[in-house]
Each structure stands twice: as structure tokens, then as C-alpha cells.
Structure 1
Amino acid sequence: MLFAICTLLGSCSPFDDGCDIQGSENSGNGNGNGSGTVEEKAVFKAKIGTEEFVANTTTAVVTDNYVLIAGTRSSKGDLIQIILPSNKVGTYTWANSKENADHFVLAYAEKVDVDAFASISNEDAASLEVKNYTDTAIIKITAVDKTKKTISGTFQFTGFRETDNGSTETKVITNGTFVNVPYTTDIPADDSDQILKAKVNGVDFINDKVDVTAVSASGSNPYYSIVGKRMMGV
């Protein structure tokens, strides 16, 4: 299962308990602007099983249609990535994000060039015959500060991956927190010459749109997400 999965197009689903980034209010976190308040440092941390994970670099992109947040621990080369189908403050689970499943990604990678432990719903786990797996994914965006361009929240999930012998293994991620993570609203410019071809169950798949995202952070290798989307037809 590919780790860097990110779709840039598509409409975001409304969530009852949030407001979009254009209307979000300042979260009240101070900054070092001479007003007597102190700027808070960005934090991205979690527990991988029983091991503490504290990222030393973070990456975030917030647009009208999706949120991407990643934390990298360069001392071990591992990273956690979160993609959500909306920029609204609120709670995200597989249950309320299933209509936007391609925009809902939670994954932990021990290295950027190996298969990641990816979260899936219980229904998908059953259909894939993943053993001893229980969905624990809960992600909360608690604040989006459009003035400082920072995002905060909490997360947890269970990820799985296939092993070389065809079995599966899991990682349980708990106590996840991202606080005052700086984000950008920039997305790659469209390329008019967009072609991506493949066969799906023996049938030619020719996309209408290709989205490419380059994600990089100091202390880790850059990686790319390439997504082909067919807008019409089966």
C-alpha cells in the first residue's frame, strides 16, 4: 500500500461541528510580536505502540478541499502522515469520511521508501481478510489560525501492512498531538500535458486528471504523490 496518497481535487464534505478556514477565528495562541505574548513552538508527537514519537520537522498543507499534515523524526527516518477531506474544525473518522475515502489517509512509515502501516475501516479490513485488526481512527482538528497559518489537533489510529510472507502486521498509534504546525496553502500548478495509464482488472484506465504533490521537510527525503482520476464513466 502506497504511503504518499493525496488527491487534490474534489469537494469537501460539510461537518456539523466546524467552520471553514476562511471563517476561522484566531485561536488565541500568542506570538512573539512585541505584545508581551510568546510564540508557541510547533509540536507533532504520538506513541507508536509503547515508543514515544516526537517529530523534529513538520509539513502541512491546508486548502479548501483537503488537509495534509506530516511529522518526520529524522533520527530514525520515520514519519506519520494525515490527510483529511476538509479544512473544518471538527472530528473525523472512517464513519463520517467514507464518502471521501480517497481524501482520508492515516499512515505511519518506518522509512519513506518502504510500505507504510495504513489505517483502513473495519469493513475494508474484513473484505481484505486482515486478521486481528480494529479501526481506532479518530482525528480532531481543534484550531485553524488563518492569520498565523497554523493548525492544531489530536489523532489516533491503527495501521496495517502486508509482510513479505503474505501475512499482515499492525501498529497502534495513540496520544497523537499536533499543535501550532505551520501550513501552506500552495498547491502545485496544473500541467496541461497530463497522462497516466493503467489497467484495472484487465480494463484500460485512462485518467481525465493527474494530481502531483511534492512533500519535503528538512531531515528527510522528499516524496511525491501521483494520483490519476477519471471524472466520468466507470
Structure 2
Amino acid sequence: MQEDRLALAERTRDLAERQDLEVSCAVLAERARIAREIHDNVGHLLTRSVLQMEALAVTHEDDPALAKELAAVGATLHEALGTVRASVHDLHDEAFDPQTTLAELIGEFPGIAGTLAFEAESLPRPVALAVVAIVREALANARTHGRATSVAVSLLEFPGFYQLAIEDNGRAANLVGEGGLGLASMEERATALGGTFSFEPLPPPRTGSRVFATFPKTQEVRP
């Protein structure tokens, strides 16, 4: 009975942590969408207005009073454009750094000694969100079901794709063929971006399991 209660508490904690991550990912994605819309719509309109105002100022150079008023309006438009650009920049700055987030995520699992190899110069936001979610799910599985004590996470960038690999020393047999352990969710995150996903035991004599996912650059969603 005590073991059942502990297992239920652990599953509840995992669910809460997973929900927190989902909320964070959704917030970041929404910030990216807002920033993109401001840049593409409001920013474009202000830029066009600035150009139109500058053209009017040139055509009315012979009217000093009007030229002065047009210059004042132009200065206001320039200020507004600068404010919009700064707001877009701030929205992007609030987004997480994937490498730091992954390192912190690995440290959130007590009892698992984790390493991170991160070799990606630029990771688009949709790929970064998918990677963090997959690593989070894989670590939860490794701890809860595989009873792993060590895990190695690597994210590598190649000319045409990004490669994510997560290896642990747990009991892979506890996961293979089992449902409801988040494997389908991880696969969906990879394939939604045109990528691939696999989960399998490590080849003998090694023990443990390996999560492997790829994300092609040609299928990237604009961050």
C-alpha cells in the first residue's frame, strides 16, 4: 500500500512538472507569434509611413513651415518605429536559452547523474521547444520507469538537420512495448516538425535505452 501511494505521488508530481513545461512552452510560442506579427504588420506599416513622410518632405522643401511640420511628424514616426523594434527585441529576449534550459532540466532529476553535449549554433524556437519537451519526458521515463542513475543528452547540428540523442543506464525492458509513458508524445513532437523519432534498448553489452530524434532544417517553422 505504501509503495502504491509513493508511486501515485511520483506520477502526480511528474504530471504537474509536465504541465508546467507545457504552459511555459505555450507562453514562449505565443510571445514569438506576437513578436512576429508586430514586426511583420505594425513594423511594416510604420516603415512605409516613414518613407512616405520623407518623400513629402522632399516635395515641399520650398515651403519651410510645412517642411518643418512634416519633419516633426517624421521624427515621431521614427520614434514609434524604434519603440516597436525594441518591443519585438524584448519579446525575443524573454525566450529561454535552449542550452541553459536543458542543463537546468537535467539537474532537476535527483539521483540521476546527467551530462549535456550541446553543439548547435542556432536552434529555431519550434525545434528548441520540441527538444526540451522530449528531454523532459525522456528523463521522467528514465527515472520513474527505468530506474536509471545516469543519462547523457546530446544535441548536435549538422548541415541539413539537428540530432537529439538521450541515453540512460536504466531498465529499458520496462519501457519497450508499454503504453502511456510519453513515447507517443515524444514521437509526435518530432514528426510534427518533419523529423524522426525512435526508442530502443542499447545494444549488448551495454544496458539502458536510447531516445533518438532528428529535426530537418528544411522543415523548420519560422521562429
Give the structure-1-normalised TM-score. Answer: 0.25
Q: Compare the two structures and name the one with the higher strand fraction.
A: 1
Q: Quick check: which has more Rg, 1 or 2? A: 2
Structure with the bigger percentage of helix: 2
Structure with the bigger RCO (C-alpha within 8 Å, sep 6+) is 1
